[in-house]
Amino acid sequence: MIFGKNYQFRLTLEVRSNRPEVDYWLESEGVITQLKPPDYDKGGGVVDVITLALRLAIGELSGVQGPIFMDEVGKHVSAEFAANVAYFLKEYSQKFNRQIILITHNEALAEIGEVSLAVTQSNGKSVVKAT
């Protein structure tokens, strides 16, 4: 649980004007809200977590093996909940035996990894060091 309470995410697929369209719904504590892009009312963090879960699920269902590369996971998740996202990724990695390679500015996400590299720039050159 990332945000301290249960959320359910639902998709409804309908054909409108001969085109498939998807509506997105978020349920929390019995309240169902339709998400409209961009949904600033719910904050970017909730949308980040939903898309992260969907990407991981699609990756597993596709059967593609090997490491997962992700850039700026949880970029809009507040500092209060970033450690929960890190824990979720660690648990996912262990449960599905998947290596995850992240590019992030978020310290909580960087710290959860077995190996963490920091890249800084000095005099126009990139400097890489283990943290």
Q: Output the pTM of the full model.
A: 0.68
Cα 111–42–35 angle (5° rounding)? 120
**How many whole angstroms separate alpha carbon 129 and alpha carbon 66?**
25
Q: What is the mean pLDDT of the chain?
A: 84
Cβ atoms of 12 and 22 closer than 8 Å = yes
Peptide bond into 37 cis (omega under 30): no
| Strand 68-71 with 100-103, pairing | parallel
Instruction: Categorize the per-residue pLDDT at 44 as very low, low, confident or very high, splitting at 50, 70 and 90.
Output: low
Q: How far is CA 110 from CA 98, 114, 125, 126, in A?
A: 17, 9, 22, 18
66-94 pLDDT, tens digit per residue, is 999 999 988 888 888 888 899 999 999 99
Domain annotation for the chain: domains and CATH numbers = 7-130 (3.40.50.300)
CB count in 10 Å sphere of residue 36: 11
Q: How far is CA 57 from CA 54, 95, 101, 117, in A?
A: 5, 13, 17, 27
